[in-house]
């Protein structure tokens, strides 16, 4: 089966991890800050906080932004459930904003309308989580403008989008948001096995997330606030304080070493993904499918090559999907709308609430795309699409 995505590991990556295994520190060593520095520099953010997954990053980002019971978080239905679950972890309410069918990203007019309604009913969100679907950057500057008007925080889920940019601004620079989150799961653009990162330009948010990822505990005497703080510090190296209820969400040094090595190839990976995407777009132009469109001002990291069947019939979708799988093409659906999972239905969501995301899910196919994909593999995918999708 040709998978929809997979990692590309070089000998240098392996050497980098093995070096850590032979070193003094498997965790809390020098590779974690080195990887954080590499990501911060690359995406032009002041701070980067490494954690063990994007899911953890979303959780501590919400906590750092002050999300609590009684608050509301909004995201899109067209995402992985983690984009919404982070709100529930904090005891907040979760709601959704429908997508724009053209970009498959959060619809700005839908957001604006929902904000207007929410203001009149006194239920404005505390946090909005836009998702850069497939790597295509969201129109962050427009959401930023709305955030100034309505007073919410912006947490970008850029799990698909390290290496993407908009108007030359890298996704993750937080120019138009408070915090951005990346995932380094093996199907994403670069990998650490499991792993995630939160970037921000806000010193206070960065400090809060550093505390939250490691039990809420610090050894930094400038942060101490206990009774003994005065006596502590330089002369009491045994002393540390827990300042809030944190977690163990730390990234290991093996993971960070893999990240340091992988990020050196980020440009190459994004180029390869764009090359593969261009071949698909050329070769599939005659099929009755809608191909992904990247806006002029955007560079997409192409985490996914996402097409839409223009046949709307459910049986036809299933027939094509199953036939492709049978012929060794690891097509996937991104995403089953979050609000239609049984868990979310039990919270009161149902069919018909977010029609664009639902329509998207009934026609979307993610084709295999990954840097190591061979010409032969891509040709096989194209041949099988031609065989199974009727003109
Ligand atoms: C992969 C993914 C996540 C979760 O990432 P993990 O690192 O596996 O926790 C969250 N949101 C989106 C949009 C993703 O694609």
160 C-beta closer than 6 A to ligand 1: yes
Ligand 1, atom 5, residue with closest C-alpha: 54
pLDDT at 267: 98
What separation in Å is there between the alpha carbon of 262 and the centre of ligand 1?
A: 18
Closest approach atom of ligand 1 to CA 79: 13
277 C-beta closer than 6 A to ligand 1: no
136 C-beta closer than 6 A to ligand 1: no
Ligand 1, atom 6, residue with closest C-alpha: 54
328 Cβ contact list (under 8 Å, min separation 6): 1, 2, 380, 384
131 C-beta closer than 6 A to ligand 1: yes
Closest approach atom of ligand 1 to CA 303: 15
Ligand 1, atom 15, residue with closest C-alpha: 159
What separation in Å is there between the alpha carbon of 82 and the centre of ligand 1?
A: 6
Strands (E), 109-191: 127-129, 153-157, 165-166, 169-170, 179-183
Out of 7, 39, 76, 83, mutate this one to test ligand 1's pocket (max ligand atoms within 8 Å of CB): namely 83
Ligand 1, atom 10, residue with closest C-alpha: 82
pLDDT at 284: 97
Where helices occur in 185-265 by DSSP H, the ranges are 203-212, 253-263
What separation in Å is there between the alpha carbon of 94 and the centre of ligand 1?
A: 17
332 C-beta closer than 6 A to ligand 1: no
128 C-beta closer than 6 A to ligand 1: no
Out of 50, 58, 82, 338, mutate this one to test ligand 1's pocket (max ligand atoms within 8 Å of CB): namely 82
pLDDT at 391: 66
Closest approach atom of ligand 1 to CA 196: 7
Yes or no: say if 43 and 172 are a contact pair by the CB < 8 Å rule: yes
157 C-beta closer than 6 A to ligand 1: yes
85 C-beta closer than 6 A to ligand 1: no
The sign of the torsion formed by the CA atoms of 340, 344, 346, 348 equals negative
Out of 159, 195, 302, mutate this one to test ligand 1's pocket (max ligand atoms within 8 Å of CB): namely 159
What separation in Å is there between the alpha carbon of 58 and the centre of ligand 1?
A: 9
288: tokens are 């009755």
Out of 185, 247, 258, 301, mutate this one to test ligand 1's pocket (max ligand atoms within 8 Å of CB): namely 185
196 C-beta closer than 6 A to ligand 1: yes
53 C-beta closer than 6 A to ligand 1: yes
pTM for the full predicted model: 0.97
SS (H, E, C) the chain: CECCCCCCCCHHHHHHHHHHHCCCCCECCCHHHHHHHHHHHHHCCCEEEEECCHHHHHHHHHHHCCCCCCCEEEECCCCCCHHHHHHHHCCCEEEECCECCCCCCECHHHHHHHHHHHHHCCCCCCEEECECHHHCCCCHHHHHHHHHHHCCEEEEECCCCCCCEECCEECCCCCCCCEEEEECCCCCCCCCCCCEEEEECCHHHHHHHHHHCECCEECCHHHCCCHHHHCCCCCCCCCCEECCCCCECCCEHHHHHHHHHHHCCHHHHHHHHHHHHHHHHHHCCCCCEECCCCCCCEECCCCCEEEEECCCCHHHHHHHHHHHHHCCECCECCCCCHHHCHHHHCCCCCCCCCHHHHHHHHHEEEECCCCCCCHHHHHHHHHHHHHHCCC
Question: pLDDT 10s digit of each residue in the chain, 391 long?
Answer: 999 999 999 999 999 999 999 999 999 999 999 999 999 999 999 999 999 999 999 999 999 999 999 999 999 999 999 999 999 999 999 999 999 999 999 999 999 999 999 999 999 999 999 999 999 999 999 999 999 999 999 999 999 999 999 999 999 999 999 999 999 999 999 999 999 999 999 999 999 999 999 999 999 989 998 866 556 556 788 899 999 999 999 999 999 999 999 999 999 999 999 999 999 999 999 999 999 989 999 999 999 999 999 976 878 999 999 999 999 999 999 999 999 999 999 999 999 999 999 999 999 999 999 999 999 999 999 999 999 997 6
- On the question of a cis peptide bond just before residue 335, with omega within 30 degrees of 0, the verdict is yes
């Amino acid at each position: 089966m040709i998978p929809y995505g997979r990692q590309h590991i070089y000998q240098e990556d392996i050497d980098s991890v093995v070096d850590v295994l032979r070193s003094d520190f498997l965790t809390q060593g020098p590779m974690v800050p080195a990887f954080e520095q590499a990501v911060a520099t690359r995406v032009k953010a002041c701070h980067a906080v490494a954690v063990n997954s994007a899911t953890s990053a979303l959780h501590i980002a919400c906590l750092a932004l002050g999300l609590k019971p009684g608050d509301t978080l909004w995201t899109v239905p067209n995402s992985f459930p983690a984009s919404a679950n982070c709100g529930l972890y904090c005891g907040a309410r979760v709601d959704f904003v429908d997508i724009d069918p053209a970009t498959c990203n959060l619809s700005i007019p839908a957001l604006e309308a929902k904000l207007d309604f929410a203001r009149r009913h006194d239920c404005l969100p505390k946090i909005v989580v836009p998702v850069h679907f497939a790597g295509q950057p969201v129109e962050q500057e427009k959401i930023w403008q709305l955030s100034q008007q309505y007073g919410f925080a912006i947490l970008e889920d850029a799990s698909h989008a390290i290496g993407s940019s908009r108007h030359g601004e890298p996704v993750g620079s937080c120019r138009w948001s408070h915090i951005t989150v990346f995932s380094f799961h093996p199907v994403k653009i670069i990998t650490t096995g499991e792993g995630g990162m939160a970037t921000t330009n806000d010193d206070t948010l960065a400090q809060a997330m550093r505390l939250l990822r490691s039990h809420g505990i610090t050894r930094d005497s400038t942060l101490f606030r206990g009774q003994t703080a005065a006596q502590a510090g330089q002369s009491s190296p045994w002393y540390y304080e827990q300042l809030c209820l944190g977690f163990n969400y730390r990234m290991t040094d093996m993971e960070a070493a893999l990240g340091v090595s992988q990020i050196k190839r980020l440009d190459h990976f994004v180029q390869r993904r764009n090359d593969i995407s261009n071949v698909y777009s050329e070769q599939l132009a005659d099929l009755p499918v809608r191909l992904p469109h990247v806006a002029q001002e955007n560079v997409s990291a192409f985490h996914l090559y996402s097409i839409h069947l223009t046949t709307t019939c459910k049986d036809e979708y299933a027939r094509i999907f199953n036939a492709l799988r049978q012929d060794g093409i690891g097509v996937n659906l991104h995403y089953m709308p979050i609000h239609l999972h049984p868990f979310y239905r039990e919270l009161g969501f149902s069919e018909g609430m977010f029609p664009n995301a639902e329509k998207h899910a009934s026609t979307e196919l993610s084709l295999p795309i990954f840097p190591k994909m061979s010409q032969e593999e891509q040709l096989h995918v194209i041949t099988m699409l031609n065989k199974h999708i009727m003109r």
